[in-house]
Amino acid sequence: MIRKRKLTGPFILALTLHVLLLSVFMLSFDSKSPVFETGPAPEIIEAMVIDESLIQAEAERLKTQQNKLLESQRQMEEAKRQEDEKLKRQQLVEQQKQMADEKLKAEQSAAEKRKAEETAKQKAEAERVAAEKRKAEETAKQKAAADKLKAEQLAAEKRKAEETAKQKAEAERVAAEKRKADEAAKQKAAAEKVKAEQLAAEKRKAEETAKQKAEAERVAAEKRKAEETAKQKAASEKVKAEQLAAEKRKAEEAAKQKAEAERVAAEKRKAEETAKQKAAADKVKAEQLAAEKRKAEEAAKQKAEAERIAAEKRKADEAAKQKAASEKVKAEQLASEKRKAEEAAKQKAEAERVAAEKRKAEEAAKQKAAAEKVKAEQLAAEKRKAEEAAKQKAEAERVAAEKRKAEEAAKRAAEEKRKAEEAAAEKRRQEELARQKAEAEKREAERLSELARQQAEKLRQEDEARKQAAAAAEEARKQAEAKRQQELSDAKNKAIAEIRNKVERSWIRPVSSQGQLKCTIRVNLLSDGSVMDASVVSSSGDPAFDRSAENAVKKASPLTFPRELYASFKSFTFVFCPGC
């Protein structure tokens, strides 16, 4: 469009000059050349003489005008030619400028492309590193969560096992205490029943004896009874003391062993569970103590009533005083033992259970002693009655008394043996429980150790797998990069070979060039393959051959190459050796 505007002005000017010259020529010819005018042929022919000088002058004038027109035409053509050259130069400058702009744009585009590729690579690498980091963090979180869950499960299983063992032990202890209480209650009921029967029989016998005995016999009987009672009481108290001492030693030994086992177990249990169990045990023991206390009070009442009846029956003041003193001592002992038991109950829950058993044993011993005392009194009464009624029966009664004593001793020995066996069985059970618990703890520790070892091995394997994967990925990346570089190199070599073949096809051998010649040419290309410049950088020694090689490269433009290799082909060199 710009070119058309530039050509319009000179064209109009030239056209105007031509029209103007043609008009002047026509006017001059009409006014000065009448001989060219034609008209109707007259009938009369007239002759006219024309001066030759005028014709020549007119010819000269016309020639001068023609020369002026030619000169003007030449000037116009020269101006037009100069204008065309100027336009060509401007076009060439614009073309070179456009090519430079295109080259700059291509370089900028290539730089931007390389920069974008580098940025994309960095971004991809950063994303890959971030993804690996996120994956590692996620793996670590999952592993930590799994470890925490396993630890919680193990702790829950351990707590559950401890709770189950504790509940089982508590149930067994309560059942044992219940069995002991039931056994004591049965024994007490049997003793009370025997005592009631004996009291009824003695009452009947005493009533019959009272009718037969005289006052003297009553006094002698009371004296003998008092002496016998004192002896029997001393003997029974000695036996009772020995039995109590033996039972106390056994109870203390069993209590120590049980307390030690329970202390070891209690130290491993949690404080909260221990407090709850202790509170429950205290409550159960308090209820048991209250029941035993009520039973003891009831038994004491029954015993006091029986003693009161016996005292009234015997009417022996000295025996009554001794009995009162004995009851007072026993009451003081009971009170002292009760205070000790209460103090022990405050200090230790297990001591309360031992104290309760001890009180039960003492109460049973007291009841047994009372029964023996009653029996002794009955035996004495019967003995006196037998001596007075029939001396022949004394030996039989003594034998019967010894037999009963032997039976009682056998019963006591059997009871002691049973208690010893129960204590031994309880000890074995506690030892077995402790052994099982130790084995369970050992197995649990081994399991936890094995689990920790497996976890460590798993972590090591995972770390090794990650390292191997990273090494494999790096090796694959290197191989891919090497492969890509090899492919680019192969593509570049192939493209250079194709360019060399195309240049050889476009080459015209100079006449003066002889022999096998070669030169190295540097070629500058545009992105579309157009040759911007081709110059020999290593001459063959033959200038004509070198120029022909440069011309062949320019003639072969545009050259073909992979567009992704433009950076390599923007400026490159190759060896031109036709026929090599």
Q: Is the pLDDT of residue 522 over 90?
A: yes
pLDDT at res. 362: 81
Q: Is the pLDDT of residue 34 over 50?
A: no
SS3 assignment, position 534:
strand
Extract the tokens encoding 209. 């004896």
pLDDT at res. 320: 63
> 340 in a domain, yes or no?
no
State percent of the chain over pLDDT 90.
Answer: 14
pLDDT at res. 32: 45
> 490 in a domain, yes or no?
no
> 131 in a domain, yes or no?
no
Q: Is the pLDDT of residue 115 over 70?
A: yes
Selection from 524, 534, 99 nearest residue 91 by Cα? 99
pLDDT at res. 17: 81
State percent of the chain over pLDDT 70.
Answer: 87
Three-state SS string over 51-81 comes to CHHHHHHHHHHHHHHHHHHHHHHHHHHHHHH
> 531 in a domain, yes or no?
yes
> 79 in a domain, yes or no?
no
Q: Is the pLDDT of residue 31 over 80?
A: no
**Whole-number average pLDDT of the chain:** 79
DSSP-derived pairing of the beta strands 531-538 and 519-525: antiparallel
For residue 576, the cross-strand partners are: 519
Q: Which residue has the higher pLDDT, 448 or 400?
A: 448
pLDDT tier, 5 (very low <50, low <70, confident <90, very high otherwise): low
- CATH code, domain with 540: 3.30.1150.10
Most confident of 151-160, 173-182, 533-542: 533-542
DSSP-derived pairing of the beta strands 531-538 and 571-576: unpaired
pLDDT at res. 565: 84
pLDDT at res. 521: 93
- Cβ-proximal residues to 194 (8 Å cutoff; 6+ apart), any chain: 371
Q: Which residue has the higher pLDDT, 41 or 325?
A: 325
Distances from the Cα of 430 to the Cα of 161, 410, 440, angstroms: 17, 29, 15
64-68, 71-75, 347-351, 468-472: range with lowest mean pLDDT:
347-351
Selection from 178, 250, 159, 254 nearest residue 262 by Cα? 254
Q: Is the pLDDT of residue 10 over 50?
A: yes
SS3 assignment, position 531:
strand
Full-prediction pTM beyond 0.85?
Answer: no
Average the pLDDT over 239-254 and give the result.
73
Q: Which residue has the higher pLDDT, 101 or 525?
A: 525
- Residues 495 and 560: their CA atoms lie apart, in Å, by 7
Q: Cβ of 495: how many Cβ atoms within 10 Å?
A: 19
> 537 in a domain, yes or no?
yes
Q: Is the pLDDT of residue 486 over 70?
A: yes
| Helices and strands per DSSP (H, E), number in the chain | 9, 3
Structural domain for 544, as ranges: 507-576
- pLDDT (tens digit, 9 = 90+) per residue, 46-71? 445 445 677 777 777 787 877 888 88
Tokens 């009718």 belong to 211
Distances from the Cα of 197 to the Cα of 186, 201, 301, angstroms: 16, 6, 18
Total domain count, the chain: 1
> 309 in a domain, yes or no?
no
> 557 in a domain, yes or no?
yes
Q: Is the pLDDT of residue 3 over 60?
A: no
